[in-house]
Amino acid sequence: MKKYKVLLTKAYEVTITAEDEFKAKRYSEFFTGNIVDLSNEEDKKSFNFEIKEIECKMNDSFEVEKVDE
């Protein structure tokens, strides 16, 4: 098989409870990865937040480059 590098962009809509907008943004960035909530119970208690839902809204590939073996 041939080998390729693909530039892929994904955008997620995250529903989160937090103390303010700034913390909601930061915790959404830090505690998510590949449509998964990476936070644990200690994180939620320490930072006082909870991710309620993560939904993929965009999944697009923009560039493909063949890689020489």
pTM above 0.95, yes or no: no
- Report pLDDT digits (tens) over 17-63: 999 999 999 999 999 987 889 999 999 999 999 999 999 999 999 89
Residue 4 is predicted with a pLDDT of 93
Residue 35 is predicted with a pLDDT of 82
Domains in the chain, number: 1
Give the span between the Cα atoms of 10 and 57, in whole angstroms: 8
Write out 12-57 in H/E/C secondary structure. Answer: EEEEEECCCHHHHHHHHHHCEECCEECCCHHHHHHHCCEEEEEEEE
pLDDT at position 69 over 80: no
Range of the domain at 51: 3-67
Q: Which amino acid is at 22?
A: F
Residue 60 is predicted with a pLDDT of 95
Residue 25 is predicted with a pLDDT of 96
